[in-house]
Copies of this chain bind each other. A is one copy, B any other.
Amino acid sequence: MGKNEKPLILVTNDDGIFAPGIITLAEEMKAFGEVLVVAPDKPQSAMGHAITIHNFLRLREVDFMEGVKAYSCTGTPVDCVKLAVYHIIKGKPALLVSGINHGSNLSINVLYSGTMSAAVEGAMEGVPSIGFSLMDHSIEASFAHVRPVVRSVTANVIANGLAKGCCLNVNVPSEMEGPLKGIRVCRQALGNWEDAVETRKDPNGGEYHWLKGRFTAKDTGEDNDVWATANGYASVVPVQFDMTAHQEVDMIKTWNHAL
């Protein structure tokens, strides 16, 4: 990057390029650098770390916001990051931000979330990356109270950097929960999805199934993201893509592994 160039900030999401959340995020990023948007052309929620390998991808330059170059992509959020790095930029952005997601990405939802998977892919590419989520699915939800959180976390990441292999998962309670008490840095809460299938009959009598379910926190601690957001704080969880359960390696070595 030359001395007169502003840092390049890649913006993506999983709700699609025309969602209010990504517009808010791109607006905020203009204060920090040159903004490039590469985002799915349609909703890609719950796509996790999926990539497209059995089909090709298309990119289309779209009118998005004054002073911002933007492309819609036919693939997943992780596809968007790969196309941005290896085709559009042909290099690494200074920062990747994903979101602002319409809905929570607390706890284990980091694994299902396309928003967070894009941030994890950024971390894999060595790019400081942040995923932002507003805990409100309503399309009319206000993002006003999320903006200061975006500014604070982004400024911190630019000033302090992030450890190799690590990105951030930021969740902000709905404005309807009252004023934010502040930001809490915490760990991913324990929890899972229960009662996850609803079966119906089609007009011909055939069964079909909808995934639904109820996210159930199973964590009694106060140092996790579910507790923080339930108590009026925005949560910041450092997320890593090393999924090794390091604490189990030595124990499993003691098994009889003879073939």
Q: Give residues in A with beta carbon < 8 Å to B.
A: 43, 45-54, 56-59, 76, 78-79, 82-83, 85-87, 108, 110-112, 117, 120, 124-125, 148-149, 152, 156, 160, 162-163, 165-166, 168, 180, 182-183, 185-188, 190, 192-193, 195-197, 199-200, 206-211, 213, 236-249, 251-253, 255-259
B45 touches A149 (CB 8 A): no
- Is the Cβ of A110 less than 8 Å from the Cβ of B243? yes
How many angstroms from the CA of A47 to the CA of B111 in the assembled complex? 12
Pick the contact of A245 from B148, B166, B207 — CB < 8 Å? B166
- Look across to chain B and name the residue whose beta carbon is closest to the beta carbon of A164: B190
Which residues of B are found within 8 Å of A210, using beta-carbon distances? 56-57
Q: Which residues of B contact A59 (CB under 8 A)?
A: 207, 209
What secondary structure prevails in chain A residues at the interface with B? mixed
Closest beta carbon of chain B to A153's beta carbon, Å = 8
- CB–CB B245/A243 < 8 A: no
Give A188's nearest chain B residue, CB to CB: B244
**In the bound complex, do residue B255 and residue A166 qualify as a contact, i.e. CB atoms below 8 Å apart?**
no
Complex Cα–Cα for A193 and B247 (A):
27
Residues in B neighbouring A57, C-beta threshold 8 A: 208-211
Chain B nearest Cβ from A242, distance in angstroms:
6
Contact check, A255 vs B160: say whether CB atoms are below 8 A apart.
yes
Complex interface: chain B residues within 8 A of A166 (CB): 245, 248
Cα A82 to Cα B213 in complex, Å, equals: 10
Q: How long is the Cα–Cα vector from A208 to B108 in the complex, in angstroms?
A: 34
The residue of chain B having its C-beta at the shortest distance from the C-beta of A246 within the complex is B187
A50 CA / B43 CA spacing, docked (Å): 13
Extra A-B contacts (6), CB below 8 Å, given A50-B112, A152-B259: A43-B54, A57-B209, A83-B197, A163-B247, A238-B245, A239-B243
A251's nearest neighbour on chain B, judged by CB, is B163
Contact B156 A255 (CB under 8 A): yes
Taking a contact as CB atoms under 8 Å apart, the answer to whether B249 and A239 are in contact is: no
Residue of B nearest to A184 (CB): B257
Are A182 and B87 in contact (CB-based, < 8 A)? Answer: no
Residue of A52, A241, A246 with highest tally of chain B CB at under 10 A: A241
Give Cα A209 to B120, complex, Å.
22
Of B49, B85, B124, the contact of A48 (CB 8 Å cutoff) = B49
A53 with B45: CB separation less than 8 A: yes
Contacting residues, chain B, for A197 (C-beta < 8 A): 82-83, 86-87
CB contact between A156 and one of B112, B168, B257 (< 8 Å): that residue = B257
